[in-house]
Structure 1
């Protein structure tokens, strides 16, 4: 008998001996966790020998795999899946064995997720917001307005620490001008130049961002960098003249901060390649520099204030680590030694919360030693909710809960900065 005739007789025997009520092969829901299921419900146990059924189905599986791969070369199917067959009184279950052959990993999304997002969130630079194409909205997005408030608050703390700020029209106007310099101009410059030099990493981690997606041209990005830098430096010079400085303190602070932002992002130094140095530089940029600018605008910088704010910058280092967890894959591929890459994510979580909490406890001890027990107690009271949210969100999953953690805990750290500033002003 020919092979084709034997196959026909075998199939006929299979069909006669198995009275199937339902024969469902699901192309979508039938495969879960790398296992595919074929269920044949029968009114009684099959009289077909199970070894013959298993052999038949394995032959059918191989034939189907070959046909599918030939007709659709883009689809990747397992090539060595064996089928096990087990009898029961009412149901005959045929289960494909689990296989990892030619497993295809999911690709990075080409667009940001838009669930719950909005165009306004995109302008703020919030991750996962709805994507828009208006060039001016994209320009603002590159400056990440969501990162401006810490710098603006730093100016407020510096003005408060000076002890010379008064609620006059002139002082309010000076402070607003200093906030514009620190926030939209120089922070915008920092964020834009960072995105420019991170475009290869973003092509891996967040390919939908403006630069790697091509939503804005290279020339437009470079022009924006220069406009923001020169605008910020020009405004710093105006503030020095307005404050009557003999030495342009604010201008040099702005120039130094701009240089620090450049070497943080750009080769050959690229400070961000080192988790410790890069994150401390980032913390100093967000806490110390705007504080110094605000205090220099209305008073005089002193050595103890410089030391105290640099100490607070260690807490800024911890805050910067929070943002490193979402970029671990890209950082590892690009050779950046962020702390989660260098020490592992579990250890980096504790380094992060330790830097934030121990720094604030040290500042509280400094205030207590300086004869400011009430301010020290207030600062301690603001540390407690931060620790609570660290355990509730950050230590559980720093990637999943990063936004919730920062929104919940950082307001207390920011209030602690103001408490410290008020303490030093008296």
Structure 2
């Protein structure tokens, strides 16, 4: 049987998508207020796990179970184009899942079970019988929780020797996970027609492009404003001001997006999302200084 080229395998694993969970893991590392130099091995192991392994696994799983939808929306992807022949897409998804679990042993009990949960969410998102992505509310929640909250908490727990991170860190992880639901919706605007045909009830399908755009912006904004309030309450006014400035910079992009949802979704994703995740790191540093003083 024909085998896919290495470049096709790399395309299936989508390295460009590895950044969000690796960034969230890094935020958890920073928020833990632990020494980076003393834990550099764990940090490297965690970054490889969250990006090139777990996230890559989720991309392979999604492309395999979405191959019929992609044949309509994006026929040039590896599987519908035929460059990933036979069942190679499924084999790679399974192989990368196993590799992820093996690698996770190096991060201790917490790292292993966090990895297992992230992989379970990835398979539940794409594969029957759950196929959470058939409903945008559930599917986007699973992705947001895995990519942002779970990765953040794992970064903190690994640095703390398996202990649960501080309550402030858990709260920020939850808030940024909630906001990331809106980010996940941005990816659905390019696939509206194929989703309608294949019964995928993304938010643009359920609410219409304008309704989904408004929902995505509100979902992104509200948690960020809550973060600003929390940072002020924790005595970190400069970090609160930094996050607020990043939130305000998103508003013009969001207004343009709401006016032209389909045309501007990529613009908000390209320029607004980096502002959002920058706020994550600013918040993480706020906790770093907070706990470095009080611990």
TM-score for both structures, normalised by structure 1: 0.64
Structure 1 residue 174 displacement after superposition: 2.2
Find 1:165's aligned residue among 19, 30, 35.
Answer: 35
Partner of 2:258: 395
Q: Which residue of 2 aligns with 1:323?
A: 187
Q: Is residue 312 from structure 1 mapped to residue 180 from structure 2 by the alignment? A: no
Correspondences of 1:17-416 after superposition (within 5 Å): 135-166=5-36, 168=37, 171-240=39-108, 248-299=109-160, 300-302=163-165, 303-392=167-256, 394-416=257-279
Higher RCO (CA 8 Å, separation ≥ 6 residues): 2
Rounded to whole Å, the distance in 2 between the matches of 1:149 and 1:326 is: 21
Cα distance in 2 for partners of 1:419, 1:280 equals 23
The aligned length equals: 284
Q: Shift of the alpha carbon at 1:223?
A: 2.1
Q: Tell me the SS of whatever aligns to 2:263.
A: coil
Deviates more, 1:255-264 or 1:307-316: 307-316
The answer for unaligned runs of 5 or more in structure 2 is 291-295
Distance 1:397 1:135, change over 3 A: farther
Say whether the 8 Å CA contact 2:210–2:261 is kept in structure 1: no
Deviation at 1:315, TM superposition (A): 1.1
Instruction: For residue 304 of structure 1, report the CA deviation from its aligned partner.
Output: 4.1
1:39 is aligned to: none
Give the number of the structure whose residues are more often helix, by fraction: 2
Whose strand fraction is larger, Structure 1's or Structure 2's?
1
Q: Aligned-residue CA RMSD in angstroms?
A: 1.7
3-state SS of paired residue (2:261)? coil
Q: Distance in 1 between matches of 2:72 and 2:61?
A: 18
Distance 1:304 1:283 in 2: 19
TM-score (norm 2): 0.91
Larger radius of gyration: 1
Residue pair 1:159, 1:165 contacting (<8 A) in 2 also: no
Once the two structures are TM-superposed, the CA of residue 274 in structure 1 deviates from its matched residue by 1.4
Kindly state the Cα deviation for residue 214 of structure 1 after the two structures are TM-superposed: 1.4
Q: Secondary structure at the match of 1:218?
A: coil
For residues 226-259 of structure 1, the C-alpha deviation after alignment (integer angstroms, 9 at most, x for no partner) is 221111111111121xxxxxxx011000000100
Question: 3-state DSSP class of the match of 1:366?
Answer: helix
Deviation at 1:134, TM superposition (A): 6.5
In the TM superposition, what whole-angstrom CA distance separates every residue of 1:332-352 from its partner, at most 9, and x where no partner exists?
A: 111121111111111111001
Q: Distance in 1 between matches of 2:100 and 2:19?
A: 16
